[in-house]
Each structure stands twice: as C-alpha cells, then as structure tokens.
Amino acid sequence: MSDTRLNTIIAARGLGKRVTTAAGPLDILSDIDLEINAGESVAVLGVSGSGKSTLLGLLAGLDLPSQGEVLLADEALHLLDEDGRARVRGQHVGFVFQSFQLLPSLTALENVMLPLELAGRQDARSQAVELLARVDLAARETHYPKQLSGGEQQRVALARAFAMQPAILFADEPTGNLDSATGKRIIDLLFDLNREHRTTLVLVTHDEQLAARCQRRIHLDGGHIVAAPVEPR
C-alpha cells in the first residue's frame, strides 16, 4: 500500500487577498505559493497583522481569495459555491479556534456529538463519550460551556474537532486565551491526537516554542512568505 502521507493535500498558487478600506485598497496577502503534504504538521508564524489568520481562512475555504487558487483535498475551492466549500470542509476538515466556539446551549457531550449527528452517524453518542474520555473530561459530559474552565472548553473543542477524524486540522492560536500551564496541556493533547489520527495539522501561532513542535514553519511578514529568521548562536 502506498503512503498517502506523501501526497499534497493543500496547495496555494498565486494566492492573494485584497480588501477595501477608507484609505483605499489594502493587500493582506500577496503571491502566496505553498504545498502541504498529508500527515504533515506546519506552523504559520508572524506578528499580529501579518496575515496568518487570513491565510488559514483561505486555505480552509472559509473565505475566497482576491487572486490565485487553493486546492484542498484535490478540490479547487474557487470553483465551488459556499455550499460546495462547506461540503468539502465537512468531509475533510476540523477546526480549533482561540475562542473555543462551543454552542452554549449544548452540553460538552452534545457539542462533540453535533458534527457526528449532522453526518448521520448512528454511533454519535458512543464516539463522543470515547473522545471526551480521551481528553480527560468523562466526568464533565453533562456540563455546559459556562460551567467549564477555559482549558476544559478547549479540550471539548479538541474532542469535537477530531470527532469526524478529519484529514486536516486547522488550529488558530489554540492556546491564546489560556494560561501557560493549561496551554501546554492543550498542545500536548493536540499533538497526541494528531499523531494518533495521522491528521495534517496547520497551526497558526506567534509562539516560536509551539511552532518548533511542528515539522515545518512558514513565516509571514507583511502578507508575504519570508525566509525563516536566523536564530542567534
């Protein structure tokens, strides 16, 4: 059997994003070319305003570029309408955000079950129970987000992200709202789950130590990919 991890699962070609401001047009990203292989872990680094989250949104099909194209799991996203892009995300993609984005009216268990139920999975409850146990939240299944700490909410979000065993996981500053000790635990879990599921990980961060855990780093500056800075000896 061939090793599919060597296949390109995300490709951006000539990617750019321009927005209109009161001062005129502003290029957030320009001339982005990159390829990410299946099973690879990639950190996207840069200072605030460098275009990291915009790039993630374009690669995931959450937004459309002003120029260029993105191929996600062999699907040309610019040729799809919003429903088509949502279909591709539902089939291949999981997300972890800085703000957790749990539904406040659902319990931890129900939040993890939701994508499974939407996919018509008959084993939604058992899979959600198993995933919550995997992130050490078996005792918190019936708690609502407001009853959970920030670290617990992010662990629920991790369990939900892996519920559909996505081929690709996009994580946008997943520890940004957490203290350092809790953040480290979340990152350990993220990389553990990533290895177990052989998921492609695209991680947006400004944290060099976190980025060092990825196989590859992409640095953005002023909307362009730049060479990695030379570290002092």
Q: What is the pLDDT of residue 184?
A: 87
Residue 232 lies in a domain: no
H or E element, residue 54: helix 52-59
Domain that holds residue 40: 4-226
Under 8 Å CB-to-CB from 93, ≥6 apart: which residues?
Answer: 60, 61, 72, 166, 167, 168, 169, 170
Where does the pLDDT of residue 154 fall: very low under 50, low under 70, confident under 90, or very high at 90 and above?
very high
Residue 37 lies in a domain: yes
Q: Across the chain, what does the average pLDDT equal? A: 90
Q: Which of 34-43, 111-120, 173-182 has the lowest mean pLDDT?
A: 173-182
Residue 120 lies in a domain: yes
At residue 158, the 3 state secondary structure works out as helix
pLDDT-above-90 percentage for the chain: 70
Q: What is the pLDDT of residue 44?
A: 95
At residue 182, the 3 state secondary structure works out as helix
Burial class of residue 44 (count of CB atoms within 10 Å of its CB; 0-12, 13-18, 19+): buried
The Cα 54–Cα 38 span in angstroms is 21
Q: What is the pLDDT of residue 66?
A: 95
Residue 231 lies in a domain: no
Residue 53 lies in a domain: yes
Q: What is the pLDDT of residue 1?
A: 37
Residue 116 lies in a domain: yes
pLDDT at residue 169 tops 60: yes
pLDDT-above-70 percentage for the chain: 95
- The mean pLDDT of 32-58, rounded to a whole number, is 93
pLDDT at residue 230 tops 50: no
Residue 92 lies in a domain: yes
The Cα 156–Cα 218 span in angstroms is 28
Label the pairing between strands 168-172 and 93-97: parallel
pLDDT at residue 228 tops 70: no
Structural domains of the chain, count: 1
pLDDT at residue 5 tops 70: no
Tens digit of pLDDT for each residue in 184-213?
A: 888 888 898 888 888 999 999 988 888 999
Q: Are 10 and 71 in contact (CB under 8 A)?
A: yes
Tens digit of pLDDT for each residue in 131-152?
A: 999 999 999 999 999 999 999 9
- The mean pLDDT of 19-28, rounded to a whole number, is 90
Residue 233 lies in a domain: no
Which CATH number goes with the domain that contains 25?
A: 3.40.50.300
